[in-house]
A and B are shown apart, each in its own frame.
Chain A
Amino acid sequence: MIKAIHRTGSLRAKDTIVRFWLLAVLVSLQIFTSSAHAILTIEVTQGNDKAVKVAVAPFSWEGERLLPEDLSGVVDNDLKLSGLFAPIPRAEMLSFPSKASDVVYRDWSLLGTSYLVTGRITQSGSIYDVSYQLYDITQQKRIATGRFRGVESQLRNLAHRISDAVYQKITGIPGDFSTRILYVTAKRWNVDRTDYRLNYADADGQRQREVVRSREPILSPAWSPDGSKVAYVSFESGRPAIFVQELATGKRDKVTGFRGLNSSPVFSPDGKWLALVLSKGDNPDIYVKNLETGKLSQLTRSFSIDTEPDWMPDGKSLIFTSNRGGSAQIYQLGVQPQADGTMTADDKPVRLTFKGRFNARAKAFPDGKSIAMVHKGKGAADFNIAVLDLDTNRLRMLTSARLEDSPSVSPGGRRLIYAVQGGEQGELGIVTADGRVKYRLPSAEGDVREPVWGPARD
């Protein structure tokens, strides 16, 4: 029996060599085409030596023309970027199975692979149909199958869906590969001229789209919970104002344009409120705007800086930065929506951070059990991303480069994206929540900053 399998395996090997070269040519062509369009590139700076080995075999495709996207390559890359998996290179694969009967467990097992992903792409009319299979090599059985359909422009979405499904089947936690990130790029020509752009792209840095551009600063972008709108601060009139813009139509509303600061907009988890910061020429305080009635409620009144609000996932409290205690620290404030469309807040916020002289720009994890923030260390440029466990009060440092800013947690809570400003050019960084894997996303278009991890697309 073993012999028989072995023989079949070697017969298959011959067949695969031919297919391998064919595919290698196609695949390399595709990779070349897509990387030429990449504006954000990805560089792994710290890998995971305990990563689980997986294999994503090139998906079979029998269409007449070249597929515009390398779908299995997208899945392979997603799994690698999760930090949990180490996909084996295609060149090491002995076969590219696409049917259960073609899977030779022993071959994959020899390669040290724990899981195998195969797939098949067919087309009828303008609709592509992508089916995938996930195999557990150790147990020698297929553990998941599924299929996704879409038009050509959705091919990458279909691949990300497969990554999500595979990730969830293996880890039990939903994947966050179908998400997008929002970020600002700035090309500085000289002291008087910088070109700013607000963009969004897939979480793997591909398919960048522009939201708005200006010669004056664009800051503090935020996603609406359904991913259909974004809020941001624009200085396009020479003064700051907060805008909310629909991504599909480009239609936008000016939400506030008061004297002084108009800063840090962030949507509530139910999408009905926008927390923001206004100074009205005096001290900056936290406000919320009811997006249905337009009513504005002031939540803090202090003689200090209160800024950078974020909602806890249950929408019942806000966390924010305040220097009311003499240094910038994170506070939490309970809030209550009222029947008249306003919102009220507890009398006193509760201080959450005590370690260090500077903790700011906190972002809540989706489970509400911890918050990420910028924490100042000893050195002059040591501003790094830290996570505070709200139960144990333990502060854990995640990163250690110079001048890091604006952490944002992925919807699944497994990864964080942040800005790194200390180098020659501002870059984005991604770190897994356990701190094990780090990678950077530099932009070909100048400084890139203020990333925000958005919800999964529909």
Chain B
Amino acid sequence: MRFANFVKAAALSATALWLAGCASTGGQSTSGVDKTDGAKPVETIIEVKPVLDPAVQAVIDTGVVKATPEQIGKLLNKTTYNFAFDSSKLKDLDYKALDVQAAYLNSREGRGKQIIIQGHTDERGTRTYNLALGERRANAVKNYLVAKGVSAGRIEVISFGFEKPLDPAHTEAAWAKNRRAHIVTN
């Protein structure tokens, strides 16, 4: 039982490490838990608590998101939202991620942050119409966040149309990648 708990803790800690992306989160410096496989139990006394990325923890603490820390971490990392051609409609899967983004921005951790939402399009259509379309995409994201309680004054929308493609190729795949709204948190 103790052992099982240990494995669980180690695995969580490893997840936290992975989520944090680096050792900036204190607490997991306990020796012997530096391998992700968790298959090498070491005698050292275990004081490892599930240590989470503070952002993930902050989202959990708001109590509005029902998801595992792992899922929350993933959704927090989702800052890019893709769209169909000539559309500024969010997809069903995006709402869950935006719920997490909103929860974070409303949390004690994210409360003071300003964000910029960039709107981008593919290269089809006219350059100036696409500037307007890019703004609609960014506004779709903004409006959802505002509906979830984020103050509109903290959100700036900037449309780049198709001036900044991720992929400059003239292919369906490149176009799909380039049609996006992107959240930048300061």
Contacts and interface: CB of A to CB of B under 8 A. Distances in A.
Contact of B158 (A239, A264, A360, A450): A239
B129 A321 contact: yes
Interface in B72-129: 86, 123-129
A305 B136 contact: yes
A279 interface: yes
List 5 tightest A-B contacts by C-beta distance, closest first. A217-B163, A361-B126, A305-B132, A360-B126, A284-B132
Interface residues of B, number: 27
24 contacts: A217-B164, A220-B127, A220-B128, A235-B160, A240-B131, A263-B132, A282-B139, A284-B132, A284-B135, A305-B129, A305-B136, A321-B128, A327-B86, A328-B125, A360-B125, A360-B129, A374-B125, A381-B170, A383-B124, A383-B125, A402-B170, A421-B123, A449-B127, A450-B127
Nearest to A361: B126
A118 B126 CA distance: 44
Interface of B: 86, 123-129, 131-133, 135-136, 139, 156-161, 163-166, 168, 170, 172
Contact of A260 (B86, B123, B157, B166): B157
B interface, by DSSP: helix, strand, loop or mixed?
Answer: mixed
Given A219-B131, A263-B132, A308 B126 contact: yes
B132 A277 contact: yes
A326 to B, nearest CB: 11
Interface of A: 188, 191, 194, 217, 219-220, 235, 238-240, 259-261, 263-264, 277, 279, 281-282, 284, 305, 307-308, 321, 327-328, 358, 360-361, 374, 376, 380-381, 383, 402-403, 405-406, 421-422, 449-450
A194 B131 CA distance: 18
B127 A405 contact: yes
A219 B132 CA distance: 13
Contacts of A220: 127-128
A305 B124 contact: no
Nearest to A220: B128
Contact of A406 (B124, B126, B131): B126
Contacts of B163: 194, 217, 219, 235
